[in-house]
Amino acid sequence: MKVAVDRAACQGTGLCVAVAADVFEIEDDGAAVAHFEDVPSEQEQAVREAVSVCPVGALSIIEG
């Protein structure tokens, strides 16, 4: 599983960080970034939850 962040859409609410702090962080410009493109299996559920709580849909999962 891979995760992508649409940094142009991101509003930096930090919900992704609250749910999956080992995967996401908010950079100095206020947008989220993922520490991994390929999500470690132990973080997959947290990433799925982060994608679901993003209020602007800036996160997406790429299966395969």
Q: What is the pLDDT of residues 14-50, one digit of tens each?
A: 999 999 999 999 999 999 999 988 999 999 999 999 9
pLDDT of 48 reads: 97
Where helices occur in 1-64 by DSSP H, the ranges are 15-19, 44-53
Q: Reply yes or no on whether the pLDDT at 62 is more than 90.
A: yes
Farthest CA pair distance, the chain: 31
With cut-offs at 50, 70 and 90, classify the pLDDT of residue 64: confident
Strands 32-34 and 24-26, bridge-based pairing: antiparallel
CB 57 within 8 A of CB 7: no
CB 43 within 8 A of CB 6: no
Neighbours of 39 (CB within 10 A): 22
pTM of the model: 0.91
Domains by residue range for the chain, with CATH: 2-62 (3.30.70.20)
